[in-house]
Amino acid sequence: MNRNIEIFDSTLRDGAQGQGISFSLEDKLKIVRALDDIGIDYIEAGNPGSNPKDMEFFKLVKDIKLNNSKLVAFGSTRKSDIKVEDDINIKSLIEAGTDVVSIFGKSSAFQATDILKTSLSENLKMIEETIKYLKENDKEVIFDAEHFFDGYKENSEYAMSTLKVAKEAGARTLVLCDTNGGTLPNEIKEITSEVVKRFGNIIGIHFHNDIGMAVANSILSVESGISHIQGTFIGVGERCGNTNLSTVIPTIVLKMNIDIKAKEHLQDLTAKARYISEISNIQLEDSAPYIGKAAFAHKGGMHIDAICKTPQSYEHIKPEMVGNKRRFLLSEVSGKSTVLQEIHKIFPNVKKDGEEVKKVTKRLKDLEYEGYQFEGAEGTVELLIRKTIGKYKPFFKLNHFKTMGENPWSNGEFSSTALINVTVDGKTEMTAAEGDGPVNALDKALRKALEVFYPELKEVKLVDYKVRVLDSESTTGAKVRVLIESTDGNESWSTVGVSKDVIQASWIALVDSIEYKLIKDIERKAKAYF
């Protein structure tokens, strides 16, 4: 299926309506740059008529040079029974200064009469006059036919008339919206095929994910002949989210041979998706297709053995094609082949029957008996291999640390303070930090002390923290296992610590996290040098 399709990203508009998401101006500018880097055709950057922040953003974004993307301002058709030139929201769209505007109008007769409280004829005039006016002001217009699929099933003739009016008024693209996100794939394919047959290759789609079908519906729409896909990166959006572009983009490129601009930047997909998730303050699911940490993770011994022989035995694409990487998960069921693969990432010359493999395997087994679990802690695994084989040098020496918790008289807020003393290359640094809890305070204090010697640690932050109590029925005191996830904005990694004391277990995991980051930076610098 060799044809071109436009990708329209709505992360900054529809995505911003998702629960828990609030973008600052700087956040929005960062995301614009990231989307442009990956070859997105259109970036819907906000609704300038809805709030002052969006209008301020459109003023600032003019200073950014975009290489691949066009910025889009979003708004509605004029209000009922008002001149288009007098509508404040329409004026805001003009003032936003973008070459492209996206206008939504009702394509459902029910929505027009019962929600907008206007007549069907007036609704058509609102669509027509708004698009004509924007065209007269030299705007490229994309028309979002809101509630189109529900409207088509209610009154297909009227739904189609809204598209006809929009096309005749000058809209470049007609976008069919499943606004409630409840339309089934078979209905989507049937209706979209009919619309494409009537209007040709100017049809786009915009799906919500309320029944988990947004990606599937988008793929079926491509088969039906659409030329424009709207969605959000990592699928954020109101209620259950929107079509996940992080899934759709590689699928239509790698599985359907669709030619899109983002095809040339596919190897950056994972990094950009994780970057956007970080800015959005959303924990990316490990199981996310293509970009998740577990997307190419293998645990079963037979699977790993097969992968080592022929990767396509258990991988539908090469992980490098989307910027991800293969992971072998170590556990108590891991065989020598699994352990060897992990060792080869660091020391490629080690033989399968070498002493190194035996030593690492034994050490893994011993630690798992103590309560360690390594399948989600690749940072600790690498450090364990280095320590066991004898290729490890600590980056600092801990002299002392102390954590204190306090519940002040003045308010009910519990706070923690950590004091730490470390030595690096004979130089001692002592510092303190406050945090939301003892672990957060200890993390801040440790990095604050080490940043004096290793400035690159300023980029690192702890993004996830999990505690599991082991042997809870033990009479001698239960052990705890702490798993933390850290990121430097580009890469994420996990480390683990086990102890009878939760602070000590956290400390073990924190130290591994810091040392893993420093080792990776050394490796990157060495590769760049050679």
Tell me, yes or no, whether 287 lies in a domain.
Answer: no
Tell me, yes or no, whether 285 lies in a domain.
Answer: no
Tell me, yes or no, whether 432 and 382 share the same domain: no
Tell me, yes or no, whether 257 and 372 share the same domain: no
Q: Which residue has the tokens 């609030």?
A: 22
Of 97-106, 138-147, 318-327, 368-377, the one with minimum mean pLDDT is: 368-377
Across-strand partners of 433? 418
Q: How far apart are CA 181 and CA 196, in angstroms?
A: 20
pLDDT of 503 above 80: yes
Q: Which residue has the tokens 């990095």?
A: 447
Give tens-digit pLDDT for 465-490. Answer: 888 888 655 445 678 999 998 888 77
Quick one: pLDDT band at residue 513, thresholds 50, 70, 90?
very high
Give tens-digit pLDDT for 231-247. Answer: 999 999 999 999 999 99
Tell me, yes or no, whether 362 and 403 share the same domain: no
Strands (E), 245-372: 297-298, 327-328
Structural domain count, the chain: 3
Domain with 274 in it: what CATH number? 3.20.20.70
- Residue 448 — φ and ψ, nearest 5°? -60, -40
Tell me, yes or no, whether 484 and 453 share the same domain: yes
Tell me, yes or no, whether 249 and 383 share the same domain: no
Domain with 466 in it: what CATH number? 3.30.160.270
pLDDT, average across residues 285-302: 86
pTM: 0.77
Tell me, yes or no, whether 347 and 403 share the same domain: no
Q: What is the DSSP letter of 360?
A: H
Tell me, yes or no, whether 39 and 163 share the same domain: yes
pLDDT at position 344 is 85
Tell me, yes or no, whether 434 and 321 share the same domain: no
pLDDT, average across residues 394-410: 82
Q: Which of 279, 306, 339 is the last residue of a domain?
A: 279
Q: Which of 345, 362, 389 is the last residue of a domain?
A: 389
Upper half-sphere CA count for residue 145 (Cβ side, 13 Å): 32
* DSSP state letters, 156-190: HHHHHHHHHHHHHHT-SEEEEEETTS---HHHHHH
Tell me, yes or no, whether 254 and 313 share the same domain: no
Report which residue type is found at 225: G
Q: What is the DSSP letter of 266?
A: G
Q: How far apart are CA 101 and CA 141, in angstroms?
A: 5
Tell me, yes or no, whether 201 and 305 share the same domain: no
CB 375 within 8 A of CB 331: yes
pLDDT of 511 above 90: yes
- Residue 166 — φ and ψ, nearest 5°? -65, -40
Tell me, yes or no, whether 181 and 248 share the same domain: yes
Tell me, yes or no, whether 506 lies in a domain.
Answer: yes
pLDDT at position 1 is 59
331 vs 101: which has the higher pLDDT: 101
Tell me, yes or no, whether 378 and 438 share the same domain: no
pLDDT, average across residues 105-113: 96
pLDDT, average across residues 318-347: 80
CB 380 within 8 A of CB 509: yes
Give tens-digit pLDDT for 61-92. Answer: 988 899 999 999 999 999 998 999 999 999 99
Give tens-digit pLDDT for 120-178. Answer: 999 999 999 999 999 999 999 999 999 999 999 999 999 999 999 999 999 999 999 99
What average pLDDT does the chain have? 90
Quick one: pLDDT band at residue 301, thresholds 50, 70, 90?
low
Tell me, yes or no, whether 38 lies in a domain.
Answer: yes
For the record, the structure tokens of 144 come out as 């979002």
Tell me, yes or no, whether 288 lies in a domain.
Answer: no
pLDDT at position 404 is 87
3-state secondary structure 26-75: HHHHHHHHHHHHCCCCEEEEECCCCCHHHHHHHHHHCCCCCCCCEEEEEE
pLDDT at position 475 is 44
For the record, the structure tokens of 401 come out as 């640390």
User: Which residue range is the domain that position 492 belongs to?
Assistant: 397-529
pLDDT at position 530 is 40
Tell me, yes or no, whether 292 lies in a domain.
Answer: no
- Among 119, 89, 90, 96, CA closest to 106: 119
Q: Which of 253, 279, 305 is the last residue of a domain?
A: 279
CB 461 within 8 A of CB 467: no
